[in-house]
Amino acid sequence: MKKKTILFILIIILIGAGIFLSLNNFLFTGRIIQESEISSSTIAICNKTNYCEDYKVECEGNKTSKISATGFSIQHNENWEDPRESHDPENLCNKLQKFT
C-alpha cells in the first residue's frame, strides 16, 4: 500500500513538473519574439521592362534582416507605371516599424 502511494505521488510530481517546464518555456519564447521586434511583409520589385517579382522582407526593428523570393511574379504591359511611392526593401522596414 505504501509503495502505491509513493508511486502515485511521484507520478503527480513528474506530471506537475512537466507542465510547469513546458509552460515556462512557452512564455520565455514569447518574450524573446516580442522583445526582438521582428516583422515581415511582402513587396513586389519591378525591373525596367515592368516584370515584377514578389519578395518576403523580414525586418528586425527598422533594418532588413532577410529578403527571399516568394515565387510569384507578373509581367505588366510596357505602358504600366508603378503607382507606389517607393518599392525599396529598406524603406519597407522603416514603414513597418512605424505601425508596430
Same domain, 29 and 44: no
The pTM of the full predicted model, rounded to 2 decimals, is 0.53
**Looking at beta carbons, which pairs linking 61-67 to residues 24 or more positions away fall under 8 Å?**
61/37, 61/93, 61/97, 62/93, 62/94, 62/96, 62/97, 63/90, 63/93, 64/89, 64/90, 64/92, 64/93, 65/38
Q: Which domain holds residue 69?
A: 38-78+85-99
Per the structure, the count of domains in the chain is 2
Same domain, 58 and 72: yes
Q: Which pLDDT belongs to residue 77? A: 93
Tell me the per-residue pLDDT of 50-97, one tens digit each, with 9 for 90 and over. Answer: 999 988 888 887 788 888 999 999 999 989 887 876 566 666 777 655
